[in-house]
């Protein structure tokens, strides 16, 4: 489903991703953890070419691309395979919850408005926001806004969802409702890559945990292997630091 081979990325002289290789199956839920600045966001952003990798190949679903050189068309095709959920929701402030969800399917997929709205309403229902469809983001809590942004990501029917710290901007009491939505998606075998600091959640929902540091994957395995391990010194240090 997602395969990355020898991905490298530098900003100026600083190498931020070093020879990253990944291979995720359909339906897998992968949690990426690691200290701030380790390259987690850059890795997610490279997967949908929001950042242009220096070298490497990326395959998502049926689309494969060599990052050395690719056409606009290939870039567009790869981007269609995923949808991203950001820490700060990134909703359009001047659009209602429903309009935020339907915007891209109307603009990019040319879905007729009534069909887009039916889809949007069903997705808002799925994230528990049927009642809020006509509300503007400013009138919604952070947890509700993030659930709208998850519905928006689902609207394009991506092969995989990419989450970049989806609960980091939320007040503690609002984290649970967002994790619950992601938990439900995991049950339905949605392929997801989730950058998170919520270790308990990662343990519960992920099939696989990847620990990154300094642009490299230092440790990778099942949640039990990675999060309970006492044998990996850097991993232990990191787990101690966040507890
Ligand atoms: P994480 O998400 O793990 O905190 P990031 O991927 O955001 O890490 O950042 C990794 C490194 O790349 C950091 O040192 C960061 O300062 C640097 N970086 C990220 N984006 C840019 C950019 N657009 N320009 C220059 N440096 C960047
Ligand atoms: Mg980040």
Distance 44 CA to ligand 2 centre (A): 9
Q: Which two tokens stand for residue 221?
A: 């395995």
H helices within the chain, ranges in order? 40-47, 72-80, 97-107, 113-126, 142-155, 172-187, 199-205, 223-227, 233-242
Report the separation in Å between the CA atom of 112 and the middle of ligand 2, taken as the mean of its atom positions.
36
Q: What is the per-residue pLDDT for 243?
A: 73
Task: Tell me the pLDDT band of 233, cut-offs 50, 70 and 90.
Answer: confident
Residue 36 Cβ < 6 Å to ligand 1: yes
* Structure confidence at residue 146 as a pLDDT band (50, 70, 90): very high
Q: Among the bound ligands, name the one nearest to the CA of residue 87.
A: 2
Residue 42 Cα: closest atom of ligand 1:
6
Give the residue from 205, 211, 212 showing the smallest Cα distance to 227: 211
CA 76, CA 85: separation in Å to the nearest integer?
18
Task: Find out whether the beta carbon of 102 lies less than 6 Å from any atom of ligand 1.
Answer: no
From CA 147, how far away is CA 180, in angstroms rounded? 10
In this prediction, residue 229 carries a pLDDT of 63
* Mean local confidence (pLDDT), 139-151: 98
Any idea which residue has 């991993």 for tokens? 235
Taking CA atoms only, the protein residue closest to ligand 1 atom 18 is 11
């Amino acid at each position: 489903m997602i395969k990355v081979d020898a991905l490298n990325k530098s900003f100026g002289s600083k190498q931020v991703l070093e020879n990253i290789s990944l291979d995720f199956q359909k339906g897998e839920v992968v949690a990426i953890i690691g200290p701030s600045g380790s390259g987690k966001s850059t890795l997610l952003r490279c997967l949908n070419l929001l950042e242009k990798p220096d070298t490497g190949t990326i395959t998502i679903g049926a689309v494969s691309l060599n990052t050395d050189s690719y056409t606009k068309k290939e870039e567009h095709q790869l981007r269609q395979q995923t949808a991203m959920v950001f820490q700060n929701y990134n909703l359009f402030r001047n659009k209602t919850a429903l309009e935020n969800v339907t915007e891209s399917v109307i603009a990019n997929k040319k879905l007729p408005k009534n069909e887009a709205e039916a889809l949007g309403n069903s997705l808002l229902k799925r994230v528990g926001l049927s009642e809020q469809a006509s509300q503007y983001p400013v009138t919604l809590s952070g947890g509700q806004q993030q659930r709208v942004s998850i519905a928006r990501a689902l609207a394009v029917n991506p092969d995989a969802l990419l989450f970049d710290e989806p609960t980091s901007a939320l007040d503690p009491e609002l984290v649970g409702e967002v994790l619950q939505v992601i938990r439900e998606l995991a049950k339905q075998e949605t392929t997801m890559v989730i950058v998170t600091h919520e270790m308990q959640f990662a343990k519960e929902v992920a099939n696989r945990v990847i620990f990154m540091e300094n642009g490299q994957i230092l440790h990778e395995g099942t949640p039990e292997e990675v999060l309970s391990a006492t044998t990996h010194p850097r991993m232990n240090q990191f787990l101690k630091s966040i507890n």
